[in-house]
Amino acid sequence: MSNFWARTITGLSMVFLLLAAMAFSYWLLGILFCVVALVGLWEFYTLFTSGTIHPQRLYGTAAGAIIYLAIVVVSRVDISGIPFNPAFIPVLVAIPVLFLPFVLEIFRKQSHPLFNIAITVTGILYIPVPLALLNLMNGPDVVRFQQLPILLTGFFILTWFYDTGAYLYGKQFGKHKLFERISPKKTWEGTIAGIVVALLTAVGLHCIAPAIPLIDWLIIAILILVFGTFGDLAESLFKRSLDIKDSGTILPGHGGILDRFDTIFISAPFVFLYLVLRNLI
């Protein structure tokens, strides 16, 4: 099977699974993203493990799950009886979880403790936290269309259309490199085509869900375009520093979890912040 068809089949399967989870249950989506977070974390730590660098894989994966669950569960469980704002619980959980690697590293007797700690903490922040924030876009009061949370669905549609438009047009007509030092295959032509597709998609989403103003859809699209591109480049930078092509092989035609979700890890926090400031979630 050619890489194009493997990529297409895998991509469509992921789209179906994601949409089904969003339509069926908040908790099912939470479980799906939790699996993605755990596999992605293990993949991340495996990439950076070498003869001299040894991130705390088991602890980092467990810690990522704890922070993820703290964010996802607290947002939907009624714990109003506690003597402080429940929204602080994820922060209170994150404080010891993010600082414990410094303590644990003392007992590991590794030659590069600072690198081990840095990679461990980076993985926790880079993968589970953005995925947990995406779950918060699927709250009980968000605008819905055909049982789907329209803002979260729109976030993924804009990301997919941007990626697909940029990939297809850039592969066929791309000549001028966007950032050759980091990602030799990315071109200005593909990026511009992806931008046009994403902005037109934002207009289409407003037609489908007019309850969300057009200006908000356009700003969400721009945030995805800017920070999604940076996310893609950041992951390419990781791979180039390690001299590898893909982060894994779990997704035929796409590589690993990091290869498929790289744009989302960086863009999701910025989109989430905008939605909160606009009181849309």
Tens-place pLDDT, residues 126-160: 999 999 999 988 877 788 888 889 999 999 999 99
- What is the residue type of 275? L
The tens digit of pLDDT for each residue in 251-280 reads 665 677 888 888 999 999 999 999 999 988
The residues near 5 (Cβ < 8 Å, ≥ 6 apart) are: 253
The band of 44, judged by pLDDT with boundaries at 50, 70 and 90, is very high
175: helix, coil or strand? coil
Distances (CA, A) of 103 to 46, 52, 117, 153: 21, 19, 10, 41
75 pLDDT more than 80: no
- What is the residue type of 80? S
49: helix, coil or strand? coil
Q: Between residues 249 and 182, which one has the greater pLDDT?
A: 182
250 pLDDT more than 80: no
Mean per-residue pLDDT of the chain: 87
pTM beyond 0.85: the answer is yes
Interval 177-185 mean pLDDT: 75
d(CA 35, CA 38): 5
Interval 238-262 mean pLDDT: 76
Q: Do the Cβ atoms of 281 and 275 come closer than 8 Å? A: yes
Which two tokens mark 174? 């791309």
What is the number of alpha carbons within 13 Å of residue 119 lying toward its C-beta?
24
What's the domain count of the chain?
1
76: helix, coil or strand? coil
2 pLDDT more than 60: no
106: helix, coil or strand? helix
Domain that holds residue 234: 3-277
Q: Do the Cβ atoms of 132 and 67 come closer than 8 Å? A: yes
